[in-house]
Structure 1
Amino acid sequence: MSPLTSEREPLLLRSPVSPKTRPGPHEISKSMRYGILAGVWIATFLSSVNMTLVPTMLPSISSEFEKSHQASWLGTAYLLATATFTPLYGRLANVMGRRGAAQLAVLFTGLGTVACGLSTSMEMLIVSRFIAGIGGGGINTISTQVHTIVVSDMYSLRDRGLAQGVASVFNGFGLGFGGPLGGLITDWFGWRWAFLCQIPIFLISLLFTTINLRYVTKGKGKSTIEVLKRIDYFGSFTLLVSVGSMLLFLSTRFNENLPWSDARVIAPLVLSIVFFILFVLVELYVAPEPVLAPFLLKQRIPVLVGMSNFLVSITNFTITYFFPMWFQTVMLTNASIAGLHILPNSLSMSVGSLFAGYMMHRTGKYKMINLIFGIFPFIGTILISQIHENSGWVQSWFSIIPMGFGNAVVLQTMLIALLAHIPESHMAVGTGFGQLFRGIGQVGGVAISSAIFQSKLESALRERIHDPNAEEIIAHIRQNARAIVTLEPELQRIARDSYAVSLKMVFAFASASALLAYIVRLPIPEKDLDSRPRSNSVAPPPSSTLSPAPVPNNRSEEREISPDDSIVTTPDSEIGETDAFPVSSSPRSAMRHKRRLSTFESPDGVMDLESRRIGGSARTGSIDDS
């Protein structure tokens, strides 16, 4: 009889300790690894494409529905859903498994994208974009989680910057190619096909991950009910209502120019303030694992990194959404040419990510490259704000490059700076904290800049048009940007000048945000990337060699799980153990150890907190802020 059992023990209990035939993340074959990464990076690329797909399509979409003043909702709806639902997928992945959560995310994205292509009204299109954003947040979460397990966790903090830089290339390509692809497809086949043609590629991504995502990882977890109870439902809901109400206020007051006394202006403003207060109270006192970790709000470095992320995202998305509009409405180019002007931004972001990762890996430092290249976004936005109709091709095509390169360097260095100033046991909490500010900044960049643009556009048109039918003409120009090319020469000149002065104000807003972001980052100190605050329960990782971490040879001492397995109960007596390398001390204790999804977390803000190694708790904690 096996020493692991006795006559009094049910045979059915033997399965949890039976050896697994599937390999761990460090043991998978090259073909399996490449298949997983192909699926992950395709999904990441498409999710990023969807963030920036709309800007070059806005004139065509809004002109078809005659609602240009509502066009900003096509961007904010997607970004709002992504920012709100991204943290929740970290928990769902532990309940449903990586593959199950990935399939759910792709389902939402696919349904939303198909609905976008089949929309018959602007309202339906906005709702469809929100549904697609729910899935987009999940794709980002699951992709970064899997990337961490297969790649990033093998490296030290110093080397992780380089590995993350490589992964960020695909995100940068997606953000940069969204505009050009949207414009080209719109010109060739119509804007609806820009949504519908994505479906086969999503299915290919899902196929790659479903077939190859079959490794096992060591660790233990909590029951499904325990994990679900720790999801911050109320906090996510109050954040969604607060930010959504603020967007509605900005739209009704500035996009639709309703008076302050109108209930449609006052009500969303009051709702936004009330639910923001509720969000703060929930995060401070109610949520078991809040999205916004309260203890980090008391720490200087995480707060400064969060503010920087917020302002950088505002700058990025303000320019990304309104720079193509300059060429369509002022220069009267087609959508494809307008979108191609975003392409240099994509290339510079990718180069900047790789450059920052390489420099941090080579020097072990991040502050100096941040000081030097962190001012580039301000220089780039100033160059963009000085653009005019007679600008040469150099300024028209390349003025955006310093912004893309500089912001890519900033995002990489700030991620590593944040991780360097918190214990490894709170990595997921800290990165989730920074990611929340980044997501809200993306929404704010589109919403605030749109409010500035629409408000200035209306006043500029009223100053220049004194026709008896001025109201009708102004409404036509604001609601149908594509109609500018059909106007008579005198009225067309007025419309182009009005759009130019309005867009320049938006670019000035982006410049102010970029400068403020640079000032906010100045107090962040340097820290040696070869040493960092650590949890007392975890041994230091291998030295920085860019080589995989060692894998234990004694497979019987590891409690392994599969990416597609759900979590089942682990006794409370085991919660105090470190989850990094759990060891069964007896046959009975080994049989009590159940499967969990993974102990490894994402460097991009996944709130998967069941691991003490790099999960931690968002409710309590302490870090060294030196």
Structure 2
Amino acid sequence: MLNQTKNNRLGLIMLAIFISTFMTSVETTIITTALPTIISDLNGLAFQSWVFAAYLLTTALSTPVYGKIADRFGRKIVYTIGLVLFTSGSMLCGLADNIFTLIVFRAIQGLGAGAIMPITFTIIADLFTYEKRSNMLALNNTSWGISALLGPIIGGFIVDQLDWHWVFFINVPLGIAVLLIIALGYHEKKHSAEKVAMDYKGILTLSVLLIFTLLVFQGLGETKVDALSISAELVVIGVLGYWFVKTEKKAIDPIIPLRLFHNRIFTIQILTALLLSGIQIGFQTYFPMWLQSIYKASASIAGLAVTPSPVLWLVASFFVGTLVKKYPPKQIAIPIITIQLLFYIPLVLANVNFPQFLFYVIAGVTGIALGIVITMNTLISQQVVPETNLGTASSMLTLGRTLGQTIATGIFGLIFNLIINNKIKQNSNISLKQVNGYISHGINHHDPTLIKNLNDIVLSGMHAVFWFVIFLFLIVIILNISDKNQNPIK
């Protein structure tokens, strides 16, 4: 009877975690469909990128802080704060009557998401043994997979049948339900707060570093390339990074305990997740663009090119528990990433006759590979740190994935724009406006020579992007080869 009650309680908590993961992950996909209507209604075209950037910035900034607070004061209080902020931020976004208030309220949503995403991993680690944890992480991945598939569909339905405000209002009843479940059903072990002052200097330094890094890399793909300003910005990032490390070494209770990174296995897991997340955002961004421009596919059909990934991600993640019991991390990561690399090599050689179905195959392989490796990264990074640093470890993995996607987005955009601009200079008959129109709409034209030239220009940009993706794969493989551990992590 007691076991049945305990299982029911665990099931209820997992349901709450599932719903909260769905809420925060669907928020990044559902708004994509609704954004054109929102921008039109609020006259906010000039500030549309900030609707995403505000959410991303505050999520990244708050993630390490919440991880540290969770280790000191407990998971429940941090999770509750995150749910309140996310739910109230969603309500306020739905009530926004101009683009500036929407951006501010999106920032509040991000502050909530910054707590919810890493703390879900931490609560799972607290509630389940290492043997069962991988299946629970895989189960939680299903909510992410469902949100990736249904987000755009739900967003389109809401905009067509209701009103864009309901894109945000839909989170409110879900958030309240999760709050009630956590308040009544989740009982954690008591955490005794250490009598040590918070590392406010570290928090401030890290915040400035992250803000500057995110803004610089997000702007790389959007602005006109200026080698001098980019070099200066990278120098500033380096100086801020050095200052942060120096600050953390002096701190009594640092916001990010640098000693965690003395553990080679932990460091490799975080960096692997960071780099693979960069690869993930690359195929998610450029596969639809490739299909739309070169194959004249509609936006909805082009978007389907990435759907095999979340489906196979969640299926593959259920095999992680069995694999980590039998093999050391590098013996799992290296073969899988090598296979993924082999599937990406044809992309740097592809011409206009490249079979369209192969994009779906590559997306599926990507889902299987990342589903196994990134779930393993989460599991192993939690297992190899002291229990007192569990929240910090989970937040480091979440932050690493966010930074990986943000930095890679900027670098991909920079590479793509550099190649496109260089090709346009070589062909005086084609303008940047024509290329932009071709990429956005895949427009047909009666002049076969113009179409051929536009195809060549776009393909050159795509090839360059995926050459960089291959470079990232090689770094990940070398990184995992450097892992000296020869035993499964138990």
Q: Which interval holds the TM-score relative to the shorter structure?
A: 0.7 to 0.9
Task: Name whichever structure is richer in helix by fraction.
Answer: 2
Shift of residue 253 of structure 1?
5.9
The answer to whether residue 203 in structure 2 is matched with residue 203 in structure 1 is: no
Q: 1:453 to 1:394 in 2, by over 3 A?
A: same
Shift of residue 126 of structure 1?
6.4
**Among candidates 71, 80, 88, match of residue 100 of structure 1:** 80
Give the corresponding residue for 1:327.
291
Shift of residue 183 of structure 1?
6.9
Aligned residues: 482
Aligned-partner SS, 1:457 = helix
**Among candidates 344, 361, 365, match of residue 398 of structure 1:** 361
Shift of residue 440 of structure 1?
1.9
Shift of residue 513 of structure 1?
0.8
Amino acid at match of 2:86: V
Does 1 or 2 have the higher relative contact order (CA < 8 Å, sep 6+)? 1
Aligned-partner SS, 2:170 = helix
Shift of residue 448 of structure 1?
1.7
Q: 1:60 to 1:260 in 2, by over 3 A?
A: farther
Aligned-partner SS, 1:214 = helix
Give 1:365-380 correspondences, 5 Å limit. Answer: 366-380=329-343
Cα offsets for 1:394-413 (capped at 9, x unmatched) = 30321212222112211233
Give the corresponding residue for 1:413.
376
The answer to whether residue 166 in structure 2 is matched with residue 166 in structure 1 is: no
Shift of residue 520 of structure 1?
0.7
Give 1:467-546 correspondences, 5 Å limit. Answer: 470=431, 474-475=432-433, 477-478=435-436, 482=440, 485=443, 494-524=453-483, 525-530=485-490
d(CA) in 1 for partners of 2:353 and 2:397?
41
* Sequence identity percentage: 21
d(CA) in 2 for partners of 1:523 and 1:421?
17
The answer to whether residue 309 in structure 2 is matched with residue 345 in structure 1 is: yes
d(CA) in 1 for partners of 2:168 and 2:397?
30
Shift of residue 331 of structure 1?
2.7
d(CA) in 2 for partners of 1:354 and 1:380?
23
Shift of residue 285 of structure 1?
1.6
d(CA) in 2 for partners of 1:279 and 1:502?
36
- Please say if residues 118 and 394 of structure 2, whose CA atoms lie closer than 8 Å, have aligned partners that are also in contact: no
Give the structure with higher Rg (CA): 1
d(CA) in 2 for partners of 1:378 and 1:317?
15
Amino acid at match of 1:101: I
Give the corresponding residue for 2:423.
460
Give the corresponding residue for 1:272.
237
Amino acid at match of 2:247: V
Give the corresponding residue for 1:622.
none
- Please say if residues 93 and 102 of structure 2, whose CA atoms lie closer than 8 Å, have aligned partners that are also in contact: no
Give the corresponding residue for 2:206.
239
**Among candidates 252, 270, 291, match of residue 306 of structure 1:** 270
**Among candidates 216, 237, 247, match of residue 282 of structure 1:** 247
Q: 1:245 to 1:367 in 2, by over 3 A?
A: closer
Shift of residue 281 of structure 1?
1.8
Shift of residue 315 of structure 1?
1.1
Q: 1:220 to 1:410 in 2, by over 3 A?
A: closer
Give the corresponding residue for 1:581.
none
The answer to whether residue 431 in structure 2 is matched with residue 451 in structure 1 is: no
Cα offsets for 1:97-125 (capped at 9, x unmatched) = 2563143332365157548x8665xx887
Structure 2: which 5+ runs fail to align? none
Cα offsets for 1:588-619 (capped at 9, x unmatched) = xxxxxxxxxxxxxxxxxxxxxxxxxxxxxxxx
Amino acid at match of 2:241: F
Give 1:597-612 correspondences, 5 Å limit. Answer: none
d(CA) in 1 for partners of 2:323 and 2:228?
55
Q: 1:193 to 1:445 in 2, by over 3 A?
A: farther
Amino acid at match of 1:440: L
d(CA) in 2 for partners of 1:311 and 1:260?
24
Q: 1:124 to 1:479 in 2, by over 3 A?
A: farther
d(CA) in 2 for partners of 1:388 and 1:240?
44
d(CA) in 2 for partners of 1:407 and 1:44?
18
- Please say if residues 138 and 375 of structure 2, whose CA atoms lie closer than 8 Å, have aligned partners that are also in contact: yes
- Please say if residues 217 and 406 of structure 2, whose CA atoms lie closer than 8 Å, have aligned partners that are also in contact: no
Aligned-partner SS, 1:255 = coil
Amino acid at match of 2:208: V
d(CA) in 2 for partners of 1:408 and 1:37?
20
Shift of residue 429 of structure 1?
4.3
- How high is the TM-score relative to the length of structure 2? 0.81
d(CA) in 2 for partners of 1:507 and 1:218?
47
- Please say if residues 336 and 369 of structure 2, whose CA atoms lie closer than 8 Å, have aligned partners that are also in contact: yes
Q: 1:337 to 1:291 in 2, by over 3 A?
A: farther
**Among candidates 82, 88, 91, match of residue 59 of structure 2:** 82
d(CA) in 2 for partners of 1:459 and 1:476?
15
d(CA) in 2 for partners of 1:167 and 1:376?
26
Aligned-partner SS, 1:352 = helix
Give the corresponding residue for 2:404.
441
d(CA) in 1 for partners of 2:382 and 2:488?
11
Give the corresponding residue for 2:16.
39
d(CA) in 2 for partners of 1:124 and 1:457?
36
The answer to whether residue 99 in structure 2 is matched with residue 132 in structure 1 is: no
- How high is the TM-score relative to the length of structure 1? 0.65
d(CA) in 2 for partners of 1:462 and 1:385?
22
